[in-house]
Structure 1
Amino acid sequence: MNLQQDFQLPDLHSIYLISGRRAMVVHADDSIIRFETELYNRTISLEPVAFRTEIQSGEIRLLQKMPFNKELQAFSGMTEKQEKAHQRKLHYVKFFTKHCGQNLPRHGFEDLRHKAAALINDPSPFGYVQMSKHCKKYWASGQSETSLIGPQQMFGRRASRLSEEVHDIIATCINEHYLQPTRPSLQHLTRIIRGKIIELNSGQYRTRPLQIPSYGTVCAAVDRVDDFHLTSRREGVYIASKENKRGRPIEYEQRIGARVEADTQLLDIMVYHEQFGIALRPYLTALIDVASRCVIGWDISFSHPSAPKTLRALCQAMVASPDVETRAVPETLIVDNGKEFVNTNMMSLSKDISILYRQASPRAPDQKAFVERVFHTFNQQFFHALPGTTKSSPAHRGDYNSGAEAAINIFDLRRLFGQYLSEVYHYGKHSTLECSPIEKWRELGRQVPPRTLTEEEVRFKSCIRMKCSIHHGRVKAENMQWEGPGLPQLATRLKSGRSNLKAILLIDTNQIGKAWVQDPTGKSPLQEVTNTLPDFYHSLSLAEIKLAQKLRKTESNGKANDRDRSSLDLAVSRLFREVAEVANGGRGKKEARKLSKVVEKFPSDQPVNSVSSMTNDSNRLQRQISMSLEESDEADHLTGALDITFEQDLPKSAERKMKKIYQQRSES
């Protein structure tokens, strides 16, 4: 058979596949065959002999043979409106080609334009620029009518080449193999998907084989996987949350008390304890108002994080004081999940005072970032400038012996820290506020005054009530006794009635030294009573004294006498030293909570074990702190702003320690 005689030119507007691209025949004669590709209207020209050779070899395949008629309109996806617009373009292009050839002149264009518009009654004919664009396309394509059809109208939207079943297989393989901690490569994932589809295609009842996706299709499916889901499957939800939450600002209202954050942290300083002669790192519980950055409540003590410690700081923040301006009842209190915050006492107090209690997510300190940042400020500006500082790390501390240099007791540390807050921190310019915290506080206070409470309103919030009898002018509860001047008269009045009523004892769980006796008949006011234990015990919490009593009973095999004070002293001393081991060992708050649920051991504001020579020792300690302040580059501005004085006597142990430090300084 003669192929030269059997070969016929392709029909116009037929669709062929050339080099993987869809192309339409726009011109065909004995000299040249011209195609127009789907994308960008690119032209491919072939000689008839070359076209015949490509057809025979399979490089060019006929996809669809269709003339330009109503069927082409359905193929191209053109609507009736688009078809009218196309016919309008063809009318103008053919009219100008007939009268001007393949050259569109500017001179006389207006007359020709109006003549062409009059033939079809077009009120708005094309301008010169638009007409020139359409004519160039028409002439460049060999006067093909399809050249005036846009590529989107000509070929429409390309349908998905993969079936839904293939997409489901890809998603399943990604979930089962790629989202794993082993992190397989994309090439390995692609081979798994190919093997899965080949296995399905080889099935007995498969009538239509599934198409195998390419490597690029698999990569595109992996890119569509959510980053949070990918990281959470591979490394856990905590790492995913940490990596996908950066840059989120914390929203809060510009109002005092609208958002208050609270936390407890170990301070970077060793404080000397006079009673037992050891150095400890105290804990600071602070409440900060986010809108003004002012500290509204704080508590420094040797105790580990606990409910009484937090209650003291919260009550201090809510009670109005004539000496301290920054006091307010929090509207929303942001805390972590520690037991010092999540407990019955804190929850009931917040409910009674209408405080919205919000807990941060576990291991998410950035949810209360403001109070975390202020602890860093306190350590850098204040605590690192005092003798006995531990610095922020052993590398920064170097050879400095913090325990040997510790000379400040807990009373002086509280007084100095309060002086630092009122004279330095609250009056220093804040970089974010662009003013001092106290100026921001006063500005917000003029808009909405903060809510405060009186001492009587919060006095009994942390008290427990017990019914007890009065004997010999004392009331007894929890193996302790309280006495007061008005108790004998109250006992006589209660016994005179027909029914033997019992008095109601209100014990402050934070400090056992504070208690009140209430008349059950309501005929007399509350009477304040004092614990019969020495003043040394008055600052202990109820939980601490119970723990000490339990320890004393265990050591004495249940034969302990409640009147034996020496055994109770030894039990408290042992508890205190165990707490000291935790603090010095650096085991952190978690281990401290496991050791005991006790809190501040000796937070009393009363001086203990004073010596008479106050003046010389106070001046010596003042010089020691001044020398440390002058040597610290981080706190040079505190030397003049903070007037360091000591209003109470130094203990003998602190005196001996200061003599040793002063002697070492003199020798060096």
Structure 2
Amino acid sequence: SQDLLRATFELGINYQFCPPRTPWFKPMVERSLRTLAEQFAHQLPGTSFANWFDRYGYDPLKESIVTLSELVHALHIWIIDIYSQTYHRGLKQTPYAVWQRAAEIVTPRTIDPERLRLVLSKQAERVLGHAGIELHGLRYNCKDLLPWRKQLGDRIKVQIRFDPDNLGSIFALHPQTKEAMPVPCLTPDYAEGLQLHQHKLIQASLRKEGLASADPLSLARAKVRMQEVVGQLLQSRKLADRKRAARAKGAHSSKVMTTGKLPPTISEDAELPPTDSWSPPSTLPVLPHDPEGDCHE
């Protein structure tokens, strides 16, 4: 996508495209995925085995006990404490030792998390007027945008950056200096932490009922109803239903990575989304130790 190409350019990354259905163009990537599957994913309860013989008499729905936050946590432990500290036949030493030696030659570069969020956001062009900026039916405005309009005109086109995983705020880029200005949504109780996919589901529900999609009360009530439907789908035995529910709920790895937690489930009696803090379960599955499979290729 254009956003990916722009992000790689701004981060100074040289990208290469592989032809479709040609895994031999990226053998190291394919081997890494195999190692991840065999040494980590297939060791967890609820995994879906690739071999039909391994799946015989095995129901992953009954065996699965790992939440998404636990999975991400366990993956970090495996990468840092297990894989990186295990002898690699191709490197002739551990990956951690190779990293340490390379870091002594060239200091690893880091990037500010807020800057990284700006770079990895999606980009669009919108009009900045007296009412602010409209994006996906939501209004964004702040007093810091007033000098822009005084300098460049009452209605000006600006480039914006937005995070599809959180519509609570956007970045507006100054047309001349390219300064990034954070601009909050005018309905923060609704938009903060809301994903674009969730917002589109809510907008579609409101249009179906003939309600105004910009009414804050209608938005809040539709958000609660969406969570109720999600709760019902999560109990379904059908994998397709549970996938739809997880997507509508906003359960994915980037949410865990940026917040350290998943969004809370709204109770059926609530009129507005709750604001109480929520913590993920602290229990983690114990990965079995296999001395014979310790070496990497």
Normalising by the residue count of structure 1, what TM-score does the alignment of the two structures yield? Answer: 0.32
Determine if the alignment matches structure 1 residue 443 to structure 2 residue 101. yes
Indicate how the Cα distance of structure 1 residues 358 and 580 shifts in structure 2: closer, same or farther if over 3 A, else same: farther
* Counterpart amino acid of residue 181 in structure 2: L
Check the 8 A contact 1:360/1:368 in 2, yes or no: yes
In 1, Cα distance between equivalents of 2:84 and 2:152: 60
Question: 1:376: Cα distance to partner?
Answer: 1.9
Question: Are 1:562 and 2:220 an aligned pair?
Answer: no
Map Cα deviations across residues 335-372 of structure 1 (whole Å, 9 max, x no partner): xxxxxxxx222223334444333222221112112122
Please name the residue that 2:86 is paired with.
428
Q: Which runs of 5+ in 2 are unaligned?
A: 266-275, 292-297
Q: Distance in 1 between matches of 2:97 and 2:54?
A: 35
Residue identity in the other structure for 2:170: A
Partner of 1:508: 162
Alpha-carbon deviations, 1:235-292, whole Å to 9, x = none? Answer: xxxxxxxxxxxxxxxxxxxxxxxxxxxxxxxxxxxxxxxxxxxxxxxxxxxxxxxxxx
- The residue type paired with residue 636 of structure 1 is H
Match of 1:388 in 2: 46
8 Å CA contact 1:427, 1:436 repeated in 2:
yes
Task: Determine if contact 1:495/1:501 at 8 Å carries over to the other structure.
Answer: yes
> Are 1:467 and 2:121 counterparts?
no
Q: Distance in 2 between matches of 1:349 and 1:548?
A: 28
Residue type of the alignment partner of 1:369? P
Kept after mapping to 1: 8 A contact 2:198/2:249: no
Find the partner of 2:135 among 469, 477, 501.
Answer: 477
Asked if 1:346 corresponds to 2:4, the answer is yes
Label 1:533 to 1:391 Cα distance change in 2 as closer, same or farther (>3 A). Answer: farther
Distance of aligned partners of 1:550 and 1:519 in 2 relative to their CA distance in 1, 3 Å threshold: same
Q: How far, CA to CA, are the matches of 2:8 and 2:289 in structure 1?
A: 41
Q: Does the CA-based 8 Å contact 2:87-2:94 persist in structure 1?
A: yes
Paired residues, number = 263
Q: Which residue of 2 aligns with 1:409?
A: 67
SS at match of 2:16: strand
Structure 2 distance, partners of 1:578, 1:545, is: 15
Question: What's the counterpart of residue 362 of structure 1?
Answer: 20
1:636 aligns with 2:273: no
Greater RCO structure (CA 8 Å; 6+ sep):
2
Task: Give identity over the alignment, percent.
Answer: 16
Q: Secondary structure at the match of 2:3?
A: helix
SS at match of 1:420: helix
Deviation digits for residues 137-187 of structure 1 (CA, Å, limit 9, x no counterpart) = xxxxxxxxxxxxxxxxxxxxxxxxxxxxxxxxxxxxxxxxxxxxxxxxxxx
For residues 393 and 537 of structure 1, the distance between their equivalents in structure 2, rounded to whole angstroms, comes to 43
Structure 2 residue 181 is the aligned partner of structure 1 residue 526: yes
Q: Deviations over 1:42-72 (max 9, x none)?
A: xxxxxxxxxxxxxxxxxxxxxxxxxxxxxxx
Distance in 2 between residues matched to 1:428 and 1:365, nearest whole Å: 26
Distance 2:180 2:130 in 1: 16
Q: 1:429 to 1:365 in 2, by over 3 A?
A: same
SS of the residue 1:356 aligns to: coil
The answer to whether the 8 A contact 1:548-1:572 is kept is no
Q: Secondary structure at the match of 1:377?
A: helix
Partner SS state of residue 561, structure 1:
coil
Give how far 1:409 is off: 2.0
For residues 483-540 of structure 1, what are the alpha-carbon distances to aligned partners after superposition, in whole Å with 9 as ceiling and x for unaligned? Answer: 6xxx24654x568789535695733244323423567797x98345257355786252
Cα displacement (A) at 1:374: 1.5
1:435: Cα distance to partner?
0.9
Residue 421 of structure 1, CA deviation = 1.2
Residue 552 of structure 1 aligns with an amino acid whose one-letter code is: S
| Per-residue CA distance 1:427-471 (angstroms, 9 max, x = gap) | 111121121112112223434455554446544333424333455
Matches within 5 A, 1:168-317: none
Distance 1:398 1:385, change over 3 A: same
**Distance in 2 (alpha carbons) for counterparts of 1:455 and 1:442:** 23
Q: Distance in 1 between matches of 2:190 and 2:83?
A: 34
Q: CA deviation at 1:482?
A: 4.2
Which one has a bigger Cα radius of gyration? 1
Report the Cα distance in structure 2 between the residues aligned to 1:353 and 1:395, rounded to whole angstroms. Answer: 45
Contact kept? 1:514, 1:529, Cα under 8 Å: yes
Shift in CA distance, 347/516, structure 1 to aligned 2, threshold 3 Å: closer
| Amino acid across the alignment from 1:532 | T
Query: Per-residue CA shift, 1:605-656, capped at 9, x if unaligned?
Result: 344438x9x99x957x55xx34xx4xxxxx3259xxxxxxxxxxxxxxxxxx
Query: Which residue number corresponds to residue 268 of structure 2?
Result: none
